[in-house]
């Protein structure tokens, strides 16, 4: 049945109307546009409809597969097959538009012809890749800074749950710290850690700066390209927010005169833990716990569990109970098309992912629409709307690593205790304090919950008006709103080691808004051998928000429908507005090139932030860079080997305002409760002192880049040297003895340097019908804190790490070790402890600690630098192969030259802890010659064998296959018979192979806190994935 819809076109079509038309086409309904006066539709003409066939080729006669053929003025179109052939229905008097990337678009009148062959001439202006930079684009050949570009096609079949995770291993100088928590966003570090504070890069989505969490809400298939600005010469255009680098994400958009297409990407698969944490079973644990008494010459405590054979039998593998293969499904539908006046690109995406831990999941639903309208030949409007809703269910706080968390108890709960007793109650360690001060993890996972809801909206509009052919005025406005809600329920636990007497419900809400307005002009002019470009603009941004925290205790019913605050016996709460912050900016960029040989670029940006006091509010950030294309000089012009050689040098300054706002003011807290005349009152106190001199952190960066292309650019090599110095780094002052509870504000004292090299070789070629591309990216990097408090004071990151002047950030500080005392003679003759008062209590089987300061006593003064958590080498590798209809790709990522401190293992080999032990504890010293690494079992801690020392230090080196994909595209001769223009099936995997000597769960688990980097706690483990998927285009 033919269905027609007539729409009034007296008014120019708006984006919503275009989206409706596109959707109707997708549903098989042909829309017809009519004029009320003439009553003549666009698709109705006084011409006969005919079938036009032909071949589209280049000027050498080679066919162009995938070329676009459109009936001008309509959305009717097709694409050519592998032989460049096409067939299309058109009116005999219509015009066909032929286009192909890298070639000029041509128009041909049908004039009743049923066979039309089109020859597309090469367009030299399109052959040069375009790179997105701040507030515009540049030809890749003219860029004079370090920018890594990743094409969107590399993301299309990635199994990563979000776009950020899919980036790993694809760019030099970029490091990712991942968490396995469903819905989490990895921490990104560009060219090292630049500050002890927030070192996350600025994320810019389609021209709009956004919060880093947005990365977790972008589907990989939405991405057109990602550009990473790594140096000051490229990042200075963003001023105060670019000190840690900039990630520019461009999502897909339709093109004018593009055939309407519907694309569906559907995949399903499962996640599983990469590796189980190695722990002892009940029989091994029972043996080790009893052995403590034997080693100490003591009788076994008859009241302890280790005198009871009940605990000598494994009843539960808690990791098997708590972890699973989590199923997931992912769908993305895209509708895209354009006429000569308008374009529309719409996406709807959905992901449903079970976490690898029981009773956890991620559910993400989102829509995005991006359209462009040509109001006139000079005036264009672009709209962008993005709405996402994330819902996660967790059993522990994201990033929390305490002993109360379910990941910890999954590893440490006693294996002799059952999940449930015969009476149906949950197993418990309540019988003895030696069974662990923990909750049953299955109870926590099944009877309690933590829901997180995050609803994000981004609306932006951009208008471009060409004042002249060379000068364009652009206005952009955007509005972002993020609403988060956290609900946590803890039930009573009368039979558990840790007791909660009343059911507790906590509900926290958080709302933030960001309003942005920008106005800038862009100028480009080519005159003979001279090319000039310029951008001049202003920008303003305001951030606001509010929060509310509520808790209720004592519910008559714990049915979820009854868990509302009105039903609580005790209600507590607080809330407030966040202090609004504003940023006002002006910026200018100028570029010049001569004869495609010499290039110059300069940027200047001024930022004023309300985060700082008058007098320190404005920061000024310049950069300058130049390039010399050596290969275009006469002495290399005809060189058959060197296709491209270019040298770029740049320097600039960037800022960092990602610090607590308003530290230039005294702050007060209303949180002191006291009683006056039998009345409970709440008082206000001074919470923090003011620092009126606080200002920006400033990063000065030098970048030198050599680009080399050989053998017609089949072999390419980029080598870069970088040197980044962060000055005026905000660090906490040492506490004052008279400060009491009052916080001390940060001060601009510190300096930190990151320097190193980036090396990126790649090769692309073809062997018969096999085409391939291979690439490696390597980053050699050194981090050093060059200024702090002097040599005697440090910033503590906890027991394991310290940050000293003259050393890398987050260095491991502890005691050096020299094996295990094998006999009493070694103890008696050890000069390390010859004057140590503890010497009489040290016995064979204890750790031999080194007296580093030579006073013959091992004490706090012997604690020294024992390791560095910062990798000295980051390595990535990718391979892409295509053979006939098959395609294969693999991405590897690794880090080398650093250590990890296994705090989990150190707790797990300590027999005085009331928890299950690490499997390596079974390799303990039991007599002379049995072990020179792990100490004896003991109930005594005289030697403090498990203090922070080299015993817990491990190599962090690893190489991991991040993504591997094998796909097959069905020939068009088959798919066109079922009305499908493209059909591809693929199987892929993520984190399937890891090469490492690290014996814990995951060498990538290095933490997101800059001051505790490399310390292994009980984080939510990453998962490995296997996926089956299909890409379908109609």
- The pLDDT tens digits for 795-836 are 998 899 999 999 999 999 999 999 999 999 999 999 999 999
- The two structure tokens encoding residue 264: 């569906």
243 domain residue, yes or no: yes
**For the chain, how many structural domains are there in total?**
2
175: domain CATH number?
2.170.130.10
The pLDDT value given to residue 859:
95
Task: Please check whether residues 200 and 98 belong to one and the same domain.
Answer: no
- The two structure tokens encoding residue 878: 């990718």
CA distance 430 to 494: 10
Q: In what side-by-side order are the strands of the sheet with 68-71?
A: 77-79, 68-71, 95-99, 106-109
Task: Please check whether residues 99 and 140 belong to one and the same domain.
Answer: no
Task: Please check whether residues 138 and 114 belong to one and the same domain.
Answer: no
Helix (H, G, I), strand (E, B) or coil at 695: coil
Contact 414, 435 (CB under 8 A): yes
Task: Please check whether residues 101 and 137 belong to one and the same domain.
Answer: no
Helix (H, G, I), strand (E, B) or coil at 677: coil
Contact 278, 999 (CB under 8 A): yes
The pLDDT value given to residue 47:
60
pLDDT in tens, 929-982: 999 999 999 999 999 999 999 999 999 999 999 999 999 999 988 888 888 989
CA distance 314 to 113: 83
Task: Please check whether residues 15 and 73 belong to one and the same domain.
Answer: yes
Question: Which of 106, 126, 146 is the endpoint of a domain?
Answer: 126
18 domain residue, yes or no: yes
- The two structure tokens encoding residue 465: 């008006």
The pLDDT value given to residue 257:
87
Task: Please check whether residues 81 and 147 belong to one and the same domain.
Answer: no
Question: Which of 232, 251, 270 is the endpoint of a domain?
Answer: 251
Task: Please check whether residues 73 and 95 belong to one and the same domain.
Answer: yes
Name the stretches of the chain with pLDDT < 70. Answer: 1-47, 102, 123-128, 157, 159, 161, 397-404, 671-675, 735-740
Scanning 312-471, the segments in alpha helix (DSSP H) are 318-322, 406-412, 441-447
Task: Please check whether residues 193 and 109 belong to one and the same domain.
Answer: no
30: domain CATH number?
2.60.40.1120
283 domain residue, yes or no: no
The pLDDT value given to residue 20:
40
Task: Please check whether residues 137 and 94 belong to one and the same domain.
Answer: no
663 domain residue, yes or no: no
CA distance 822 to 999: 25
818 domain residue, yes or no: no
Q: Which domain holds residue 205?
A: 129-251
489 domain residue, yes or no: no
* Pick from 897, 806, 869: nearest CA to 1011: 869
CA distance 285 to 915: 9
The pLDDT value given to residue 521:
97
96 domain residue, yes or no: yes
625 domain residue, yes or no: no
The pLDDT value given to residue 6:
40
- CA torsion 1006-1012-1015-1020 (nearest 10°) is -50
Task: Please check whether residues 9 and 122 belong to one and the same domain.
Answer: yes
Task: Please check whether residues 157 and 78 belong to one and the same domain.
Answer: no
- How many residues can be counted in the chain? 1034
The answer to whether the pTM exceeds 0.95 is: no
Question: Which of 75, 109, 126 is the endpoint of a domain?
Answer: 126
Number of Cβ within 10 Å of residue 63's Cβ equals 15
The pLDDT value given to residue 123:
64
* Pick from 1017, 959, 626, 801: nearest CA to 193: 801
Task: Please check whether residues 114 and 146 belong to one and the same domain.
Answer: no
């Amino acid at each position: 049945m033919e269905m027609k819809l007539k729409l009034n076109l007296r008014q120019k079509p708006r984006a919503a109307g275009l989206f409706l038309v596109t959707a109707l086409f997708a549903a098989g309904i042909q829309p017809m546009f009519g004029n009320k006066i003439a009553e003549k539709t666009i698709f109705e003409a006084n011409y006969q409809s005919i079938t036009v066939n032909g071949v589209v080729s280049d000027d050498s006669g080679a066919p162009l597969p995938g070329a676009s053929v459109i009936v001008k003025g309509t959305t009717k179109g097709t694409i050519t097959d592998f032989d460049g052939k096409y067939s299309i229905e058109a009116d005999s008097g219509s015009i066909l538009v032929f286009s192909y990337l890298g070639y000029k678009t041509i128009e041909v009148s049908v004039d009743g012809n049923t066979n039309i062959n089109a020859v597309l001439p090469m367009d030299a202006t399109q052959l040069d890749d375009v790179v997105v930079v701040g507030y515009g684009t540049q030809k890749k050949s003219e860029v004079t800074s370090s920018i890594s570009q990743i094409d969107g096609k590399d993301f299309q079949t990635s199994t990563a749950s979000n776009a950020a995770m899919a980036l790993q291993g694809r760019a030099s100088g970029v490091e990712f710290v991942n968490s396995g928590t469903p819905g989490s966003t990895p921490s990104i570090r560009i060219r090292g850690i630049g500050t002890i504070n927030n070192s996350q890069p600025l994320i810019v989505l389609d021209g709009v700066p956004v919060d880093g969490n947005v990365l977790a809400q972008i589907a990989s298939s939405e991405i057109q390209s990602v550009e990473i600005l790594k140096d000051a010469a490229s990042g200075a255009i963003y001023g105060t927010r670019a000190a840690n680098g900039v990630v520019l994400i461009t999502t897909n958009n339709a093109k004018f005169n593009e055939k309407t297409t519907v694309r569906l990407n559907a995949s399903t698969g499962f996640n599983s833990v990469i590796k189980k944490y190695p722990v002892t079973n009940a029989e091994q644990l029972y043996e080790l716990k009893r052995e403590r008494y034997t080693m100490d010459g003591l009788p076994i405590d008859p009241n302890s569990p280790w005198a009871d054979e009940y605990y000598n039998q494994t009843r539960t593998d808690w990791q098997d109970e708590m972890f699973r293969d989590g199923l997931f499904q992912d769908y993305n539908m895209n509708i895209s098309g354009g006429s000569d006046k308008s374009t529309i690109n719409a996406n709807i995406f959905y992901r449903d992912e079970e976490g690898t831990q029981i009773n956890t999941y991620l559910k993400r639903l989102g829509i995005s629409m991006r359209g462009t309208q040509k109001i006139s030949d000079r005036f264009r409007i672009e709209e962008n709307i993005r709405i996402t809703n994330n819902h996660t269910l967790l059993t522990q706080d994201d990033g929390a690593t305490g002993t109360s968390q379910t990941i910890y108890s999954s590893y440490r709960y006693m294996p002799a205790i059952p999940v449930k007793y015969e009476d149906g109650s949950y197993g418990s360690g309540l019988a003895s304090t030696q069974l662990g001060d923990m909750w049953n993890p299955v109870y926590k996972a099944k009877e309690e919950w933590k829901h997180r809801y995050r609803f994000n909206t981004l609306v932006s509009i951009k208008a471009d008006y060409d004042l002249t052919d060379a000068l364009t005025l652009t206005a952009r406005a955007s509005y972002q709103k993020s609403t988060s809600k956290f609900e946590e329920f803890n039930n009573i636990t009368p039979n558990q080691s840790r007791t909660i007497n009343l059911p507790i419900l906590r509900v926290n809400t958080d709302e933030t808004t960001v309003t942005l307005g920008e106005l800038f002009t862009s100028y480009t002019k080519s005159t003979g051998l001279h090319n000039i470009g310029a951008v001049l603009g202003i920008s303003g941004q305001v951030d606001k928000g509010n929060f509310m925290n509520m808790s209720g205790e004592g519910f008559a019913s714990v049915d979820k429908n009854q868990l509302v605050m009105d039903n609580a016996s005790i209600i507590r709460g607080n809330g407030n507005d966040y202090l609004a912050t504003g940023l006002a900016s002006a910026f200018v960029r100028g570029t010049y090139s001569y004869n495609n040989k010499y290039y110059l670029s300069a940027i200047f940006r001024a930022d004023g932030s309300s985060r700082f006091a008058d007098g320190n509010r404005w920061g000024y950030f310049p950069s300058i860079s130049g390039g010399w294309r050596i290969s275009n000089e006469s002495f290399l012009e005809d060189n058959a080997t060197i296709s491209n050689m270019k040298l770029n040098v740049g320097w600039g300054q960037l800022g960092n305002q990602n610090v607590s706002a308003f530290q230039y003011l005294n702050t007060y807290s209303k949180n002191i409760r006291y009683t006056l005349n039998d009345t409970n009152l709440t008082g206000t106190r001074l919470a923090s002192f003011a620092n009126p001199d606080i200002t920006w952190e400033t990063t000065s960066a030098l970048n030198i880049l050599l680009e080399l292309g050989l053998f017609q650019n089949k072999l390419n090599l980029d080598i870069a040297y970088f040197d980044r110095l962060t000055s005026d780094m905000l660090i906490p002052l040492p506490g004052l003895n008279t400060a009491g509870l009052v916080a001390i504000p940060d001060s601009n004292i510190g300096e930190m340097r990151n320097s190193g090299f980036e090396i990126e070789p790649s090769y692309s070629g073809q062997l018969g019908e096999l085409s391939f591309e291979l690439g490696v990216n390597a980053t050699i990097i050194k981090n050093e804190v060059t200024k702090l408090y002097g040599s005697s004071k440090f910033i503590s990151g906890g027991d394991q790490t310290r940050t000293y002047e003259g050393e890398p950030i987050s260095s491991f500080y502890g005691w050096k070790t020299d094996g295990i005392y094998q006999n009493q003679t070694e103890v008696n003759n050890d000069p390390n402890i010859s004057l140590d008062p503890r010497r009489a209590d040290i016995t064979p089987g204890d750790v031999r600690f080194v007296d580093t300061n030579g006073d013959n006593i091992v004490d706090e003064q012997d604690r020294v630098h024992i390791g560095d958590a910062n990798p000295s080498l980051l390595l990535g590798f990718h391979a892409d192969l295509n053979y006939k209809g098959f395609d294969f790709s693999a991405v590897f990522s690794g880090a080398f030259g650093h250590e990890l401190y296994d705090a989990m293992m150190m707790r797990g080999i300590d027999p005085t802890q009331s928890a299950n032990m690490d499997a390596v504890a079974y390799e303990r010293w039991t007599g002379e010659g049995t072990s020179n690494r792990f100490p004896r079992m003991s109930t005594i801690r005289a030697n403090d064998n498990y203090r922070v020392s080299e015993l817990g230090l491990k190599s962090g080196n690893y190489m991991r296959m991040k993504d591997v994909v094998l796909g097959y595209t069905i020939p068009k001769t088959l798919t066109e018979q079922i009305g499908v223009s493209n059909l591809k099936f693929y199987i892929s995997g993520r984190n399937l192979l890891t090469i490492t000597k690290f014996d814990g769960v995951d060498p990538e688990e290095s933490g997101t806190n800059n001051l505790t980097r490399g310390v292994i706690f009980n984080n939510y483990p990453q998962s490995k994935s296997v996926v089956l998927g299909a890409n379908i285009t109609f």
